[in-house]
Amino acid sequence: MPDDSRSSWRWGGRTWKRLLGGAFAVAVIAATFLFFLPRIADYRDVWDVLKEVSWQGGLAVVAATVLNVVTFPPPWMAALPGLGYRQALMMSQASTALSIVSPAGAAVGMAGSYSMLRSWGFGSGPVGLAVAVTGVWNQLANFAFPVVGLALLTTVDEDHPALRTAALIGLVALVVVVAGFALALSSEKRAHSVGGLAARLVGGVYRAVRRRKAVGWGGETLVRFRARALHLLGRRWHVLTVATLVGHLTVFVVLLVCLRAVGITPSEVSWIEAFAAWSLVRILGALPLTPGGLGIVELGLTGALVAFGAPNADAVAAALLYRFLTVAPTLALGMLAAATWRTHHPGERLEGGRNP
């Protein structure tokens, strides 16, 4: 006979954790926008800065935003042969929107990508591989950017303590991810061992949190993944790498255009300093503390820009404009994609596209 009291306690414990996590996120967001940012610059001064943006500056930020959006699909098209541009755009916008609004972040977005692609008829193996390699490539880029940003700062005899810390974290994470990925792909025997070890660790976590759920994968799963990954990356690693870098760097272009549009000159914040500030907030935004890093990214970016020499009101205006242009269009397109994704069926055009 099931222990209803224990089941109820577990459910209540998870509910309380979610509630506490949500309350913490709300507190961080409220503190950022109601206390910290107004202490850096009065919102009336920020609004005055935004009202002074010229039509040329407005046109430039719109163009940069469009450029950012249209570079979402290519990495997915490289990772999943047969996926069309329109479908990749809809899927990437919907999954990114999910990752922005959910406290779980990228994990929810990856699950959304997998579900959409499977519903279109792509096999579970190719879809799982595409989700995995795009996720790994994105994280490698995020970890590498602070290292590059710090290196660029040293070329102009500048330093930033927070960026130095982020660069160190990024470098360690980069080495760990690359080493783990290379180890898993190096041989079938190692792939089997790594997969079996990972399955046992996950099973141990399930038991520790008293979840009666079996791990449905293991060493053989990673062996099959290795074979598919070697085949795909052997042909497309360079396309995937270039597409991923271009996609990330167009986000930086949006920030740089926002800086110039609100009147922050190169003498106040150079493109190298802007890149360093941007690479720092990429790490901050990846922390699963608030949905989409809301509050954390705005405050971190503003602080970095002010530290590099931007006027306070201009820095807040640029940070808020940048965040609006990189979040709002994706949320709007993601909602549209969520409402229409069942009308797209690219898998029907693939030979064997429905094979598991």
Instruction: Tell me the average pLDDT of the chain.
Output: 83
| Residue 204 domain-assigned (yes or no) | no
Helix (H, G, I), strand (E, B) or coil at 274: helix
| Residue 222 domain-assigned (yes or no) | no
Burial of 259 (0-12, 13-18, 19+ CB in 10 A): buried
Mean pLDDT of 44-56: 96
| Residue 355 domain-assigned (yes or no) | no
215: confidence class by pLDDT, cuts 50, 70, 90: low
Checking if the pLDDT of 341 tops 50, the result is yes
The percent of residues in the chain predicted with pLDDT above 90, rounded, is 45
Burial of 65 (0-12, 13-18, 19+ CB in 10 A): buried
For residue range 269-310, what is the model confidence (pLDDT) as tens digits? 999 999 999 998 888 887 777 888 899 999 999 999 999 999
For residue range 151-164, what is the model confidence (pLDDT) as tens digits? 888 887 776 676 77
Name 284's Cβ contacts closer than 8 Å, sequence gap at least 6.
166, 293, 296, 297, 300
| Residue 77 domain-assigned (yes or no) | yes
| Residue 337 domain-assigned (yes or no) | yes
CA angle 168-246-241, nearest 5°?
70
pLDDT of residue 354: 34
Q: Give the structural domain span for 71.
A: 4-167+229-349
pTM higher than the cut 0.75 = yes
The percent of residues in the chain predicted with pLDDT above 70, rounded, is 79
| Residue 273 domain-assigned (yes or no) | yes
| Residue 161 domain-assigned (yes or no) | yes
| Residue 73 domain-assigned (yes or no) | yes
Please give the tally of structural domains in the chain.
Answer: 1
